[in-house]
Amino acid sequence: MDAAVDHLLCEMSDEEKRRVRGMSERDFFQSQNGRASSIRTLFGLLQGNKALLKSCGSGDMHPDTAAHILLQALWKRLQSPPARESPEPASPVSTGAYRS
């Protein structure tokens, strides 16, 4: 599921990402009918992509439900602050770890 959400994020422009970050979850879902249809087609949900359906919760899940779950994950990911790179770990030499 994470790979599918990553793919969806890569397809979005920075402007679209900013716009979604400013939307409530309800507003987001009301604006996503076309995207849900695209998700069902793009990821083969209508053809029974069991691996993705299973990662959304159940291999027997309805494709519409899976598309909704993917959209929800997309919205949540965009609401999370961007991951910051962790600082470079300090070298043992620069921290004095080798001093006696």
pLDDT digits (tens, 9 = 90+) for 42-96: 999 999 899 999 999 999 999 999 999 999 999 999 998 765 544 445 544 444 4
| Residue 8 binned pLDDT confidence (cut-offs 50, 70, 90) | very high
Tokens describing residue 77: 């990911």
Confidence band for 98, pLDDT divided at 50, 70 and 90: very low
Residue spans of the domains in the chain: they are: 2-79
**Residues 10-53 pLDDT 10s:** 999 999 999 999 999 999 988 887 889 999 999 999 998 999 99
CA distance 30 to 24: 10
CB-based contacts of 61, cutoff 8 Å, min separation 6: 53
